[in-house]
Amino acid sequence: MTKANLSKTYNPKDFEQRLYQEWMDKGYFKSSPNPDKKPFCIVLPPPNITGQLHMGHALDHTLQDVLIRWKRMDGYEALWQPGTDHASIATEVKVVEKIRKEEGKSKYELGREEFLKRAMDWKDEYGRVIVDQMKQLGSSCDWDRERFTMDQGCNEAVTEFFVKLYEKGHIYRGNRIINWCPDCKTTLSDAEVEHEEKDGNFYHVKYYLKDSDQYLEVATTRPETMLGDTGIAVNPNDERYKDIVGKVAILPIVGRELPIVADDYVDMEFGTGVVKMTPAHDPNDFGVGQRHNLEQINVMNEDGSMNDLCGKYAGMDRYECRKELIKDLEEEGFLIKIVPHPHAVGTCYRCHTVVEPRLSEQWFVKMDELAKPAIDILKNEELKFVPERYGTGTYLQWLENIRDWCISRQLWWGHQIPAYYCQECGEVVVAKEAPHKCEKCGCTEFKQDEDVLDTWFSSALWPFSTLGWPHNTEELEYYYPTNVLVTGYDIIFFWVVRMAFAGMFCMNETPFEHVLIHGLVRDSQGRKMSKSLGNGINPLEVIDEYGADALRFMLITGNSPGNDMRFYFERVEASRNFANKLWNASRFIFMNIDDEIMNGVTRESVEANFTLADKWIISRANRVAKEVTENMDKFDLGIAATKVEDFAWSEFCDWYIEIVKPRLYGEDKEAKQTALYVLTYVLEKILKLLHPYMPFITEEIYSCLPTVEGSIMVSEWPHYKEEDNMAQDEAMMELAMDGIRNIRNARAEMDVPPSKKAKVIIIPTEEKLPAIEAGKDYFVTLASASEVQIQMTEENVPEDAVSVVIEGAKIFIPLDELVDFSKELDRLNKEKAKIESEIKRVNGKLSNQGFLAKAPEKLVNEEKAKKEKYEEMLKSVLERLESIEAKIK
């Protein structure tokens, strides 16, 4: 029965990677449809192949691993479906830069086919990095099922999705205002635009009416877009401008005639109530322009420079053009004033370049009809958010105000849009494969659309494309809908919304039952971790120093659903200290076990010998198992982890192990067997409850536990057992523990060392007498009692005895037995001298007129408060001195 004991020192490097490889070799992470088990499935939010594991990943992946390991132990067929995302923009930027540096070529010089080959080579070389890092964290994904958003199956799913949407009228190609990144040179969806507060200006400019000295005052934050103005708009209810509607204004510098239109879009209360219309460079102006047939003039190139329609400004960068244009407006008398105006500016979520709204022909998903089923599943509670506020808030608000989704990207790395153009007549054919013949003109030459789809288009299919859709696979039938999606609140509109509507469109079912939302991991000052601030913390470096278990436990216990958390190294150290405590406690238990002592020991053979402490710890372990499971069911994973930690550290290690030491060291074999049975029984529960959080240390300790076989990964989750419910014994033991705590506190206040034994007199009520008698011996072990005397009255209790009161009992300790009066006299005299010195110092300050005149009132009050405190302390010490001196006399 005896197994090898743990090494003397807890060192995670000795076993973490060894154990992970053993789990992999034995196939413990694998999952297959099993009709005899209930399925539990989580799809991993696919990290970018360009990515490195950061602290946000570490939190996200730990939460998922906790849920998967728990459900696996709880008898479910648990699948954690892994995969990575091709990350169109980020990957293309890296590959383009690599080719430029190494070969001095652009992607266009290589050609599309060769560029895609280089990109795939880059993915094969660097795309595995984050997966290998996940393994160091302990992630128990079924790696045999790993997917990639551009693998053959996902490619097929994306094409199927696009064609189905198109055939149902949900996809169209149109000339509309889109978000354009001049640096990445591609469109962005609304969700990919981040708004940053920047300092800007309102430039107030004169727009003269045609053939008149009258002018309109127009304010703009982007004067360079004036070059594309094609109209002026005012509110139809604005009395100031009723007489000019239908007239024409002249565009300063350029001289273009601008029709003046009336439109409800214009806010009469904002600015001058006159708005210039640039339909090709502003989404709101575009809408007004369509209603009033205004011309659309695009004045910018893809790189943000001004195009050939801009006259003398052609070729200038947009900001250089702004400077020159303002200079010219001022010189020609058109500039009225410049007013500082900080405002939110849209930036690219990848490179943080200021986004330029511009008119462009792109592919769009029409969202109005698709959003409705995604809204219904939330309202019908088929989809639940944890915390709920992210469903009724972010998710619902986004869907109810959603705009059409621009899905085309001007890139090569990604899913090429399955649209084909007849080279003879221009007919557009959307199909899963290239057509052989144009049904309109008979031409056989087609060219596929150059653009690729937004990365999120493929990610929207992730919960079911990874399980085999569009084919009706066994996995899809068994695991879908999945159970939980774990993700950050910053990605709800990027991804969760799209998976919801895609799942309803393709599968007519919600893609997951719950969405567990977590916050961001911030630095110790509460700042978001970023490269620019240089405050990022590498999880791998933390793992190298403290171990994966310590990092995981710190992240979980510092987390509550939906809320940000701060990263403190002190908390990682505290988690490692907990692991070390568990290690040493386990090692101590194993040191007291041998084949002979535990041979044939069962619950039935020792149960009659259970002490009050034995029943208490078994019952507490049973209750903790229930509380942990209940909290995990509610996704309060941090609370569940803390409950196990508190129980293991305080009740099991600090109390129970100390209580049983006399039995372990004694000669009574049956008492020792009973103690060891309870120790191993409760330790096994603790290890199992901790395993989802701290998989490595729990497996290593479990492998040395002589009462079990196999891996803890596939062991049974501890559930509440009625036979282990001993609530009455718990209450009795708690009473004894309360008394011991109070005695310890009283001794600490009097600076009595633990080695100093003293008699303890306990006077319980009739009701509590059985509990006190049952816990009597624990006062000797844990309260430094030389003897414990139980009596029902205060007769013969010394007058100067130290007393403590607990519920149902009074406890007395004779003062003479606690204190060495001569030593206590010396100590108190030293304390008196020290306090008198402090009083003298404070009095000196408070009698110093210079200090009182110059020091802030707050500082003076602090010194007065100190004086009062020291005087109170001195009074207490003098009273104690007087009492002891009287005894000595």
Instruction: Tell me how crowded residue 544 is: count the other CB atoms within 10 A of its CB.
Output: 13
Q: Which two tokens stand for residue 239?
A: 């009395």
- Going by C-alpha positions, the residue among 550, 728, 722 that lies closest to residue 641 is 550
CB neighbour list of residue 548: distance below 8 Å, 6 or more residues apart = 12, 16, 136, 137, 138, 696
CB 41 within 8 A of CB 511: no
* One-character DSSP codes across 665-717: HSS-HHHHHHHHHHHHHHHHHHHHHHTTTSHHHHHHHHHH-TT--S-GGGSPP
DSSP 8-state secondary structure symbol assigned to residue 496 = I
CB 83 within 8 A of CB 49: no
Type of residue numbered 711: S
DSSP 8-state secondary structure symbol assigned to residue 355 = P
CA–chain centroid gap for 426, Å, is: 49
Q: Residue 103 in 3-state DSSP?
A: helix
- Going by C-alpha positions, the residue among 289, 310, 309 that lies closest to residue 231 is 289
**Residues linked to residue 385 through DSSP beta bridges, in sequence order:** 515
User: How many residues in total does the chain contain?
Assistant: 889
Is 531 annotated among the ligand-binding residues?
yes
Q: Angle, nearest 10°, between helix axes 695-704 and 16-25?
A: 80
CB 365 within 8 A of CB 502: no
Q: Which residue has the tokens 């090709």?
A: 280
* One-character DSSP codes across 519-555: --EE-TTSPBP-TTTT----HHHHHHHH-HHHHHHHH
Q: Which two tokens stand for residue 164?
A: 């189905």
3-state helix, strand, coil in the chain (%, to 5): 50, 20, 35
* Cα distance between residue 324 and residue 341, in whole Å: 20
Binding site residues, as ranges?
A: 531
Binding site residues for ATP, as ranges?
A: 531
